[in-house]
Structure 1
Amino acid sequence: MRTETPSTPRDDLADYLRSYVQEMAFGDEDPGVVTDRYHTPDIAWYSDGLQLDRERLTAHARPVRRTVTQCEVDVHDTLVCGDQVAARYTLIALARGRPVVTEIHMFGRLAPDGRLRRIDQLTRIVGAEERR
């Protein structure tokens, strides 16, 4: 359970990227509570063209919590300008004993309270030969 007040994506985008992933994958809190901490109720998250709303984001946490045993977020670049954010980062996960490395380019819009209301992201799974 969190004891400190979390930063919003507006406050510290890199912290959001790391905290959100850790809390969704390994947290004890209900995934809906975690989702609501960082996103507005009407969140529209588009990943490679697939739309996820609050319900689908929350449901996604359950299988992740069963299959992922390690997860690291390597943030390369972030930018916050008014209500717009952008980030380039790599997500490294150990799922079912196998490493999965994903490059992510994310663009977002913030609500007035600093939480994300829209995310558009492109992802690319990086093969072992590319990680050498």
Structure 2
Amino acid sequence: MRPFHGTDPKKFIADFHESFHDELMNSDEDAGVIVDRYHTPDIVQIADGHRMNRDKLIAHTRPVGKNRPTGRMEVHEAMANGDGGLLLRGVRRRRPDAPGTYADPHRAGDMSASTYVVRGMACGHCAAFVTEELETIAGVTGVAVDVESGTVTVTSDEVLDVAVVRVAVEEAGYEFVPKT
């Protein structure tokens, strides 16, 4: 990747994210090593309002292969300051077929609502990946994800088999934490 100096900030950021994504997708190298090439402690990255430190970025890479084998970075605004820093507002687009809907889990009627603990979620994209997988379970009528608390509430027509919920969460690339 070429250095920032003299490059349009929007292009630099888009290229940076595309290069990072491509390395994660096409390399057998450990994700931590790749993250270390792109992330330094002085870079503040915020995804959907959540500060992404090194550990969160590494955890965030786990579901990338499944959930975002292709994608693009849309940079809406990018500005360079006099110290060589960048400020940007942009979005990484999900794969085209991912619905990313959030249903209300507290709808009225004869439904079951269960809350589960899920580790590894760091932002709204993580929530969307988990939601997408859980919505494929027969009978699920709603999914509400709280990234901050690491909980997922699933509303369904009837009580769900916990093993089926676990498989869906793990398929999304996250860790299902059994109730104790």
Under TM normalisation by the shorter chain, which class is it?
A: 0.5 to 0.7
Aligned residues: 95
Alpha-carbon distance, 1:83 to partner: 3.7
Alignment check: 8 A CA contact 2:14 2:75 kept: yes
Deviation track 1:3-51 (CA, whole Å, cap 9, x = no partner) reads xxx2355663332132223333x23132212211122156553334323
Compared CA separation, residues 23 and 53, structure 1 to 2 (3 A): same
Alignment-mate amino acid for residue 80 of structure 1 = A
Residue equivalent to 1:32: 32
Compared CA separation, residues 49 and 14, structure 1 to 2 (3 A): closer
In structure 2, the gaps of 5 or more residues are 101-124, 129-180
Answer with 1 or 2: which has the greater Rg. 2
Alignment check: 8 A CA contact 2:13 2:75 kept: no
* Counterpart-to-counterpart distance in 1, 2:40 and 2:4: 12
State the SS of the aligned residue for 2:57. helix
CA RMSD of aligned residues (A): 3.1
Residue equivalent to 1:45: 45
Residue equivalent to 1:90: 91
Compared CA separation, residues 13 and 43, structure 1 to 2 (3 A): closer
Compared CA separation, residues 13 and 98, structure 1 to 2 (3 A): closer
Identity percentage of aligned residues: 31
Residue equivalent to 1:118: none
Alignment check: 8 A CA contact 1:73 1:91 kept: yes
* Counterpart-to-counterpart distance in 2, 1:42 and 1:86: 13
In structure 1, the gaps of 5 or more residues are 1-5, 101-122, 126-132
Residue equivalent to 2:177: none
* Counterpart-to-counterpart distance in 1, 2:51 and 2:32: 17
* Higher relative contact order structure (alpha carbons within 8 Å, sequence separation ≥ 6): 1
Residue equivalent to 1:58: 58
1:1-132 to 2 correspondence within 5 Å?
A: 6-8=1-3, 12-24=12-24, 26-28=25-27, 29-41=29-41, 44-81=44-81, 82-94=83-95, 97-98=97-98
Alignment-mate amino acid for residue 59 of structure 1 = A
Alignment check: 8 A CA contact 2:14 2:74 kept: no
